[in-house]
Amino acid sequence: MREAALAALANAYCPYSKFPVGAAVLTENGEIFGGCNVENASYGLTICAERNAIFHAISNGHRNLIAIAVVTPSPQPMPPCGACRQVIHEFNPEADVLCFGQDTNAKHFKVSELLMAAFSRHNII
């Protein structure tokens, strides 16, 4: 997954932040889908690498995501933003989140640790 996320990072479109991010999701049947951040001059239209990878998996018919890997150029691993945490949670509240920076240390979380008391379909009346 890390290699797929690194490959996606190479395609990041980030002329504004200059901060490329790559992500890759692992599906229930072992397929891996990558995604990168794609920025826009209208900042609100930017899509994060994590959501890009998830939407790629979903558009290919996968609904149960087992894990997501995130790679950034920062020295320390960076976890997903709040919006991405919510989207990961939608497809598996116990998904593994693996974060890699440029050092050799990785961080591992469950999405439920990163997004406690998350809003979900169970909250909808």
Q: And the tokens for 112?
A: 């439920």
Question: What residues contact 113, with CB distance under 8 A and at least 6 apart?
Answer: none
50 is catalytic: yes
Catalytic option among 28, 39, 50, 94: 50
Q: In what order do the strands lie in the sheet with 32-36?
A: 32-36, 22-27, 65-71, 96-100, 106-110
Q: Which residues are catalytic?
A: 50
